[in-house]
């Protein structure tokens, strides 16, 4: 039987490697050496990482962990920076699914305030990695946030839930990169706080290669198109609570779907429009009890 092209494989050190044809494309880290899990690296077609750990010039921004989830007002508690004792921990993995078209990982994360040993809310994360043309990578991220109490408030903030710290060379300030959104706006002053269907940060990764990341907001997300928090120093985040606080309940959890495209060349809105249309048409992931032998959980499209 032929081996699947796309794989998600747990390895030593509390990590999961996503690969295509045996070559790594990205890696998930969930050990307790950092306050929260993250993806690093996210490799471009050239093999260079399109993301970095931390800010190029500000030590107080070490919480910028490549591709990560966080929020700075969960019941008023800061899960964004490193100033509080709040932590996000992987409680268990649910499924690893290999295939020719995509590899999928499903995990359950707990959000802890640092004082009470019980979690405030859980985050069911499904990460689907699939190859694009010419060595490009698509990373689909679906999160469902469910409070442990009957309800929980996510406060109004620019910070949260999904953010990306790009490589230094891609940064508009520290490198030669550029921010462009779906509406054609260019640069931080024009884009900060605006709504857009997607955001692109692209720049040089070698002396002769330009690559970047396009960050897509799914039409099913509340408030779509999302507001964006972006900076010339090299980061972009979808601000799910930019316009106001959100109250989530056990019976009505919050589900957010995003897509990251690690692409070749500079921003291309025609290409992005095609990727967005495909993403918009894709059904959500569903995690359910497994029916196959030796399989606790399975993942399918709705």
C-alpha Rg value of the chain to the nearest Å: 18
Contacts 24+ apart (CB under 8 A), 5-8: 5/99, 5/100, 5/101, 5/131, 6/98, 6/99, 6/100, 6/101, 6/102, 6/103, 6/129, 6/130, 6/131, 7/98, 7/103, 8/96, 8/97, 8/98, 8/103, 8/104, 8/105, 8/127, 8/129
The β-bridge partners of 180 are: 186, 200
Contact, 42 vs 137, CB < 8 A?
Answer: yes
Contact, 136 vs 263, CB < 8 A?
Answer: yes
CA atoms within 13 A on the CB side of 190: 11
**Angle, CA 16 vertex, CA 214 and CA 102 arms, to 5°:** 55
Distance between CA atoms of residues 265 and 212, nearest Å: 7
Task: State the CB neighbour count (10 A cutoff) for residue 2.
Answer: 5
User: What pLDDT is stored for residue 1 in this prediction?
Assistant: 81
Contact, 41 vs 32, CB < 8 A?
Answer: no
Helix (H, G, I), strand (E, B) or coil at 275: helix
Helix (H, G, I), strand (E, B) or coil at 169: helix
User: What pLDDT is stored for residue 128 in this prediction?
Assistant: 99
H or E element in which residue 144 lies: strand 137-147
> pTM of the entire structure?
0.98
Instruction: Domains for the chain: give ranges and CATH numbers.
Output: 6-301 (2.70.98)
Segments in the chain below pLDDT 50? none
How confident is the model over 108-118, as pLDDT tens digits? 999 999 998 99
Contact, 32 vs 64, CB < 8 A?
Answer: no
User: What pLDDT is stored for residue 19 in this prediction?
Assistant: 99
């Amino acid at each position: 039987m032929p081996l699947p092209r796309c794989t998600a494989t747990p390895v030593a050190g509390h990590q999961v490697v996503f690969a295509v044809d045996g070559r790594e494309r990205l890696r998930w880290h969930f050990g307790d050496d950092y306050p929260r899990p993250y993806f690093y690296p996210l490799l471009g077609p050239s093999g260079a990482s399109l993301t970095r750990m931390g800010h190029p010039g500000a030590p107080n921004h070490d919480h910028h962990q490549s591709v990560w989830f966080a929020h700075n007002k969960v019941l008023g508690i800061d899960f964004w920076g490193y100033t509080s004792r709040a932590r996000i921990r992987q409680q268990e993995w649910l499924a690893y699914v290999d295939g020719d078209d995509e590899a999928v990982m499903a995990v359950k994360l707990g959000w802890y305030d640092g004082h009470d040993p019980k979690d405030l809310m859980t985050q069911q994360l499904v990460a689907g990695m699939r190859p694009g043309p010419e060595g490009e990578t698509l990373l689909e991220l679906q999160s469902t946030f469910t409070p442990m109490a009957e309800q929980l408030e996510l406060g109004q903030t620019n910070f949260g839930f999904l953010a990306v710290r790009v490589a230094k060379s891609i940064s508009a300030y520290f490198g030669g990169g550029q921010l462009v959104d779906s509406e054609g706006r260019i640069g931080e002053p024009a884009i900060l706080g605006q709504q857009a269907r997607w955001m692109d940060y692209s720049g040089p990764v070698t002396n002769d290669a330009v690559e970047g990341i396009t960050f897509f907001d799914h039409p099913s997300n509340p408030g779509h198109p999302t507001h964006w928090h972006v900076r010339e120093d090299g980061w972009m985040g979808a601000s799910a609570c930019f316009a106001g606080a959100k109250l989530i309940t056990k019976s009505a959890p919050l589900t957010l779907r995003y897509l990251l495209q690690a692409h070749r060349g500079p921003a291309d809105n025609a290409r992005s429009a095609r990727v967005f249309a495909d993403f918009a048409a894709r059904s959500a992931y569903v995690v359910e009890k497994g029916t196959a032998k030796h399989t606790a959980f399975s993942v399918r499209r709705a």
